[in-house]
Amino acid sequence: MRNFLLLLFLLMQTTSLADDVMTRSNQITKNLRCLVCDGQSVYESNSNFANDIKKYVKKEVLKKKTDDEIYDFLKKKYGESIMFNPSVSFKSIALWLVPILFFFLGIYFLFRRIRA
């Protein structure tokens, strides 16, 4: 009876660990963009690329790596485009501000031309 209870306890712990690994790997893959599919996350996609990323993430979660370590490796390998929410950098700010700057410069030169 004692051995049965010990075996039951070990099975419950293993199931709990497997659930934690799947939950965490699903959470990570929901934040990753599938580079093959348009607008889908790795979690939603069934492409070969997405399946490879899912396997990699699961393997790294089992190795007890942090989310940031996994994201950093994937960003180094595939670039910022793999993230659904890329980090704020000078390049991303410039992509938003330069068109606005050109718009206002165009309006300025247009009004100067009209007044002259």
CA 116 – CA 113 distance, rounded (Å): 5
Gap between the Cα atoms of 101 and 103, Å rounded: 5
Q: What is the mean pLDDT of residues 61-73?
A: 91
Q: Lowest mean pLDDT: which of 9-18, 37-46, 87-96, 101-110?
A: 9-18
> How does pLDDT run across 74-85, given as a tens digit for each residue?
999 988 888 877
pTM of the model: 0.64
Which amino acid is residue 97, in one-letter code? L
For tokens 């000078």, the residue is: 90
Query: For residue range 30-62, what is the model confidence (pLDDT) as tens digits?
Result: 989 888 888 888 888 889 999 999 999 999 998
CA atoms of 74 and 40, how far apart (whole Å): 17
Distances (CA, A) of 6 to 3, 12, 14, 16, 85: 5, 10, 12, 15, 45
Angle between helices 48-62 and 2-30 (to 10 degrees): 130
Residue type, 112: R
